[in-house]
Amino acid sequence: MPLSGGMGTASRSGPPGRRDRRHPACDRGSAMSMRSELDYDRTGRAAVGRELDLVGLGRAISRRRWWLIVPALVCFVGAVLFVSTVPPRYTAEAKVLVENGENYFTRPDRTDPLSATLPDDETVQSQIQLVQSRDIARAAVRRLDLKGNVEFDPLARGLDVVSRLTILLGLARDPTTVSPEDRILANYFDRLTVYSVPKSRVIAIEFSAADPDLAARAANTIAELVIEAQSAAKRDSARQAASSLASLVTDLRTRVAEAEGKADAYRTQSGLLQGANNATITNQQLGDLNTQLAQARTSQADAQAKAKIIKAMIAQNRVGEIPDVANNEFIRRISEQRSTLKAEIALQSRTLLPGHPHMQELNAQLADVDAQLRLAGDKMARTLENDGHIAAARVDNLLAALDVQKKTVGTAGVDQVHLNTLETQARLLKDQLEFNTQKYQEAVARENAASTPADVRVISRAMAPQLPSFPKKVPTIAIATIAGLVLALGILVAQELLSGRAFAASDAEAAAVAAPDALPLPVATPMPAPARAMSEAALAAEGEASLLATLDALRDCRVQNHAARALVLPPSPRAAAPAAVIGLARRLSGEGRTILVDLNRASPAVEPRHLALDSYGPGDGEPMGLGELLAGHASFAEVIHRDSQSRLHVVPVGQDPIDGSALDTIGLVLDALGETYDYLVLHAPAPTDPVTLRLAPEADAVVIVHAGDSASAEIAAARDMLARADGPAAVHLVPASVLAPRSAVRRAA
């Protein structure tokens, strides 16, 4: 294996296909599953320590500011061209109020309008659906004469080649096969917007068009069509109601006639004919008998009382005082004769004595007259007594007739109940007939009315707008420019995050500054003689140059989605330098995501005296590592730890032994880690160890850390063993003194 001079870089040609090397036992599916577990660990625990370098991210954005300015300018220019070339669109708005259109004069029941139910939210939404209905749309298209309008009619400009091709392929419908109204409806609904104003019963109707006058006229036309549709709907409802009520009224008239006929027939059959005052004849006869009986009893009592009085007055010789006797013409003449005789007797008694014949004659005449008076009184008394007997007989007859009539009336009560039932049925049917007849007449009147009040009215008519609603020039330009700027900024930030540069500190820059810039990179030259001596300063300078060459080689080996593997080992077991391995790994952690995998159980690098971890195993004992992972006793999340002094991630060697059967699995683990990290630093034992010989062909670079004598026999033996194991194309010799002093590189705050 040819090597560079001193501590330079050895180079040889490797086998073909070296960059795509993988262990033969490495299964791709298993590697992907391990990578998923590793990603979980990096996002869950290990990635906690990877802090975002905002200063470095800002510098990267500043360096690539034209990647922000150019897209923003492009978006700005594109937005200006868009708002300048796109046809403007104007939006007009009309507002209608949803309310109960009936009032006291148009409401059939004549109720108070305040008691009517106000429209609710469901009613408002129903009115919105009416405005958006296809019937209203077709009527609006016809009234606005949108047929032939290039803005709405697809056939106004004819079919272009693309439209004809899509129609032929069946991807679009042929507009010539549909009616003109249906052909325009798609564009019509795109320009129509209907919504309800919050916390109100107002519906806003917006219509957009390139012509502001057409937009205003369309909004007002739609509002008018809604009102007309509601009026027509109410007239149709009245027409349907009148049609249904007409048949109902006809049927009720027939039923009323039948019910009244049954009642009249039964009334005639049962003798319950109506008399005066809506009373039946039997009841009237019973009343008449009661009246006649009362009159007969009154006549009887009157006659008996008069006869008794007359007899008493006759006994008292007071016949002339009886009213009925006194009113008799015959009695009155006799009374006049008696008065004349008494006057004559009084006159003659002055000159004649009572025994005088003339006086006796006069007294005889007077006695004859008194006898006539008494006879007349007795006759009158007998007459009155006869009248009393007649009245009594009449009373008896009336009582008998009344009893018979009472029985008749009692018998007619049952018939009257049945008759009342028939009359009630007839009256109910008649009331229904009157009610439905009234409703029928009102429905006919509403059907024939020229205008029926609708449940909506226009409260704000649309006016032709002066400013276009689309496009909004200033907001469109501003939003497009900001969007382009934000998109470009997002792409830049994403690139920085995905590349890992956003998490990198200035460690690599510090290392580069610390190294002497004047030193050239080593060139492959023949190996100098082992006996050559070097000064301490020359040794340090050449060692630093060798380290930089190693770092450059690893950067060149790094490819996308694949980590550069550096196999770091001592030339012999007794020459181990763990601190130098940690220093190299920390240097690489400033370049990108780096993980140190410790494979050297004899001289492990991951232990407290060399490396302080943020977390250890259970109880802060020995941390779990590669041995436990290969044995299946731990997961990636449990074996990956974080260096407390840098961004370096480490995998300790672990407590479980790594035997020969685990060598194939080690390759699988490294493949999984290579999918996640940028650099894999493998701390291997001396070349005599099977692990080192197994991993050497898979490494991108082998770094032999020596004590300062690159020409020692141990290094030569190590090179020979690596060459026989088909090692990598580049073997780098780096003194431990170059790495150890710089191993305490601090991470950024």
CATH superfamily, domain at 24-52+561-742: P-loop containing nucleotide triphosphate hydrolases (3.40.50.300)
Give burial (CB, 10 Å; 0-12/13-18/19+) of 170.
exposed
pLDDT band at 8 (very low <50, low <70, confident <90, very high): very low
Task: Determine phi and psi for 351, rounding to 5 degrees.
Answer: -115, -20
- Quick one: average pLDDT of 86-105? 83
- Output the CA torsion 613→618→622→628 (10° steps): -100
The radius of gyration computed from the CA coordinates of the chain, to the nearest angstrom, equals 67
List the structure tokens of 649: 């991630």
Render pLDDT for 147-164 as a digit per residue (tens, 0 to 9). Answer: 888 888 888 777 777 777
Confidence band for 597, pLDDT divided at 50, 70 and 90: very high
The two three-digit tokens of residue 254, written as one number: 């027939």
pLDDT class of 363 with cuts at 50, 70, 90 = confident
227-253 pLDDT, tens per residue? 989 888 888 888 888 888 888 888 988
pLDDT at 28: 40
Residue 335 confidence class, pLDDT cut points 50, 70, 90 = confident
The answer to which of 351-365, 457-471, 507-521 has the lowest mean pLDDT is 507-521
| pLDDT reading at 137 higher than 90 | yes
pLDDT tens, position by position, 637-669: 888 988 888 888 999 988 888 776 677 788 888
Q: How is residue 746 written in tokens?
A: 């601090």
The rounded percent of the chain whose pLDDT value lies above 70 is 76
Q: Given this model, what pLDDT does residue 307 score?
A: 78
How much is the mean pLDDT over the chain? 76
Nearest Cα to 583, choosing from 383, 743, 419?
Answer: 743
CB proximity list for 41: less than 8 A, separation 6 or greater: 635, 636, 637, 640
462, pLDDT greater than 80: yes
- Fold agreement (24-52+561-742, 88-235+452-460): no
Statement: residue 30 has pLDDT above 70 = no
- Determine the residue type at 569: L
Residue length of the chain: 749
Which residues are 596's β-sheet partners?
650, 681
Considering only 255-269, 313-327, 440-454, which range has the smallest mean pLDDT?
A: 313-327
| Of residues 134, 130, 139, the one with CA closest to residue 186 | 134
Backbone angles phi, psi at 592, to 5 degrees: 175, -170
Alpha-carbon distances, residue 361 vs 285, 338, 344, 365, 373 (angstroms): 64, 13, 11, 6, 18
* 602-649 tens-digit pLDDT: 788 777 777 777 655 444 557 888 888 888 888 888 889 888 888 889
Task: List the domain boundaries for the chain.
Answer: 24-52+561-742, 60-84+471-494, 88-235+452-460, 277-447
Dist. CA 261–CA 267, nearest whole Å: 10
Given the structure tokens 């079919």, which residue do they identify? 159
Residue 479, pLDDT above cutoff 80: yes
**What pLDDT, on the 0 to 100 scale, is given for residue 282?**
72
Q: Is residue 513 pLDDT above 60, yes or no?
A: no
Contacts of 43 (CB under 8 A, 6+ apart): none
Q: What is the mean pLDDT of residues 129-140?
A: 93
Q: What is the pLDDT of residue 515?
A: 37
Q: Please state, in angstroms and rounded to a whole number, the distance separating the CA atoms of residues 448 and 522.
A: 111
Confidence class for position 1, pLDDT limits 50, 70, 90: very low
Q: What is the pLDDT of residues 178-219, one digit of tens each?
A: 777 788 898 899 999 999 999 899 999 999 999 999 999 999
**Residue whose structure tokens are 């249906």:** 182
What's the token pair of residue 701? 């670079």
Q: Is the peptide bond before 471 cis (omega within 30 degrees of 0)?
A: yes
Secondary structure (3-state) at 708: coil
pLDDT tens digits, one per residue of 547-578: 777 788 788 777 655 688 888 888 887 777 78
What percent of the chain has pLDDT above 90? 16
Tell me, what's the pLDDT at 531? 38
Yes or no: say if 14 and 557 are a contact pair by the CB < 8 Å rule: no
CA distance 703 to 260: 126
pLDDT-based confidence at residue 18 (cuts at 50, 70, 90): very low
CATH 3.30.70.1130 fits 88-235+452-460, yes or no: yes
Distance (Å, rounded) from C-alpha 673 to C-alpha 495? 21
Which phi and psi angles does 473 have, rounded to 5°?
-65, -55
pLDDT-derived band at 730, boundaries 50, 70, 90: low
The neighbour count for residue 208, using CB atoms within 10 Å, is 22
Q: What is the DSSP letter of 613?
A: B
Cα(339)–Cα(350) distance, integer angstroms: 17
